[in-house]
Homo-oligomer: A and B are copies of this chain.
């Protein structure tokens, strides 16, 4: 779990600056993704559960504070910042967020923090890293699941994830957005997701003979376990299984021409009376390869997908940011914005509405939090932390997966397309447009007045 030091130094230099100035006015920051990756028509929000736990457990330990006192960039901070402020620091703010498993789009607030300014600032880095990573993986997983149709997808990518913590959270995100199971045992332990897996090539290679390897495995793990058959020659291995009278629940192919091999292996199994032995495939799969395998009609019963899921390999990072939108100035919450070239932000505390037509969502509206909802608009941001305290129970992954599947299925078909996806319409409300224009012109007037 991330702690107080899971942050960028500038968050601490700013916090020290606010502390020195006595500036602990409340401020609101919003987390959103600037642009969708070129290969995504929608994202699936994920990571909120870990974000809330992080905020609840956020502390600076005495050892961490002792280290911070030695950091050259913090030599200007006075001792009350370390011994008083950081030592007592807890997250006391409010958080509004979109539920995990919800499709979201560019420019939409996924999470909003309102807290005393230095608190809201210090948690930026860990909130971004937590939410953006799981959102990237969940977004990929929803695509893979759609490609696989009713066939189950298992997440197998832990070994290529960005370290062991990333492996565990990638497994979680993949499962909440559609995977039936993961090979990651830690994710099973911590999140209650189903773990699955059988044998590696090394099991076969460790035995002097492939048939011995298969028989020994079934003897320990039950006669209906899954056998990996591509260590030497997949078709020969299928013949070996039939010839020996084994009846595994499934066989797995991990290399080669999966269409051709699955057909040949199916033929051998069926001819040997093993029509109920499933064929599972894996090996550098992604949503495009899964879709091609499905549309080929190959007799494949399930997919193991690794690296593409655990690293969201074609879009490994989201252009997510966490921007100040409002600050208390002399008792008045004042909307603020940034104008820098190409990186303009939108001022004010917002709500996100999904507007439904007869068959599903037709557009989203980003408006001011206090506005009336648009007709047929469902608000997506709800309060998940109030005064530092969690407001909603932890949701089961299965429940999020079901909700996610339904929500993705209702998106316009063009938006769900895996190549050249259509852009889902996201509009700013008239009130938000007016506020942005006003704040921008005030800033311009101030500039001119220098």
Q: A residues touching B (Cβ–Cβ < 8 Å)?
A: 2-3, 5-14, 16-18, 20-21, 23, 27, 29, 64, 67-68, 71-73, 75-77, 117, 121, 124-126, 128-130, 132-133, 156, 158-170, 183-186, 188-189, 194-203, 205-206, 208-209, 216-217, 219-222, 225, 230-234, 236, 239-240, 254-257, 307, 310-313, 316-318, 320, 322-324, 327, 329, 336-343, 443, 446-447, 450
> Is the beta-carbon distance between A318 and B232 smaller than 8 angstroms?
no
Chain B contacts of A450 at CB under 8 A? 236, 239-240
17 contacting pairs across A/B (C-beta < 8 A): A7-B158, A10-B183, A10-B197, A23-B206, A67-B188, A75-B222, A76-B222, A126-B164, A129-B161, A133-B161, A160-B318, A162-B162, A162-B166, A166-B166, A205-B336, A232-B338, A255-B340
Inter-chain CA distance A365–B186, complex, in Å, is: 39
> Is the beta-carbon distance between A256 and B14 smaller than 8 angstroms?
no
Inter-chain CA distance A14–B3, complex, in Å, is: 36
> Is the beta-carbon distance between B311 and A307 smaller than 8 angstroms?
no
Inter-chain CA distance A450–B211, complex, in Å, is: 10
> Is the beta-carbon distance between A217 and B8 smaller than 8 angstroms?
no
Question: A75-B222, A133-B166, A446-B209 in contact; A199/B10 too (CB < 8 A)?
Answer: yes
> Is the beta-carbon distance between B201 and A340 smaller than 8 angstroms?
yes
> Is the beta-carbon distance between B161 and A9 smaller than 8 angstroms?
no
- CB-based nearest B residue for A63: B189
Question: A6-B186, A327-B206 in contact; A339/B163 too (CB < 8 A)?
Answer: no
Chain B contacts of A232 at CB under 8 A? 338-340, 443, 447
| Cβ-neighbour of A124 out of B8, B10, B117, B159 (below 8 A) | B159
Question: A220-B77, A232-B443 in contact; A167/B206 too (CB < 8 A)?
Answer: no
Question: A164-B6, A166-B129, A202-B323 in contact; A329/B208 too (CB < 8 A)?
Answer: yes
> Is the beta-carbon distance between B17 and A221 smaller than 8 angstroms?
yes
> Is the beta-carbon distance between B340 and A230 smaller than 8 angstroms?
yes
Inter-chain CA distance A160–B311, complex, in Å, is: 12
- CB-based nearest B residue for A341: B256
| Cβ-neighbour of A197 out of B8, B18, B256, B322 (below 8 A) | B8
> Is the beta-carbon distance between A133 and B163 smaller than 8 angstroms?
yes
Chain B contacts of A189 at CB under 8 A? 5, 64, 67
| Cβ-neighbour of A183 out of B8, B27, B220, B329 (below 8 A) | B8
Inter-chain CA distance A206–B312, complex, in Å, is: 35
Chain B contacts of A225 at CB under 8 A? 76
> Is the beta-carbon distance between B6 and A327 smaller than 8 angstroms?
no
> Is the beta-carbon distance between A340 and B254 smaller than 8 angstroms?
yes
| Cβ-neighbour of A216 out of B21, B159, B170, B197 (below 8 A) | B21
| Cβ-neighbour of A13 out of B23, B167, B206, B221 (below 8 A) | B221
> Is the beta-carbon distance between A163 and B166 smaller than 8 angstroms?
yes
> Is the beta-carbon distance between B73 and A221 smaller than 8 angstroms?
yes
CB distance from A412 to the nearest CB of B (A): 29
- CB-based nearest B residue for A203: B14
Question: A201-B324, A221-B76 in contact; A125/B158 too (CB < 8 A)?
Answer: yes
Question: A200-B10, A337-B205 in contact; A162/B133 too (CB < 8 A)?
Answer: yes
| Cβ-neighbour of A129 out of B121, B158, B195 (below 8 A) | B158
Chain B contacts of A323 at CB under 8 A? 201-202
> Is the beta-carbon distance between A203 and B341 smaller than 8 angstroms?
no
> Is the beta-carbon distance between A217 and B162 smaller than 8 angstroms?
no
| Cβ-neighbour of A167 out of B129, B201, B329, B443 (below 8 A) | B129
- CB-based nearest B residue for A444: B232
- CB-based nearest B residue for A336: B205
Inter-chain CA distance A160–B337, complex, in Å, is: 22
> Is the beta-carbon distance between A164 and B162 smaller than 8 angstroms?
no
> Is the beta-carbon distance between B6 and A167 smaller than 8 angstroms?
yes
The 7 closest A-B pairs by CB, nearest first: A256-B341, A9-B197, A165-B165, A10-B197, A2-B164, A316-B316, A162-B162
Chain B contacts of A73 at CB under 8 A? 195-198, 221
Chain B contacts of A124 at CB under 8 A? 159, 200
Question: A71-B185, A125-B158, A162-B311 in contact; A231/B339 too (CB < 8 A)?
Answer: yes
Chain B contacts of A327 at CB under 8 A? 205-206
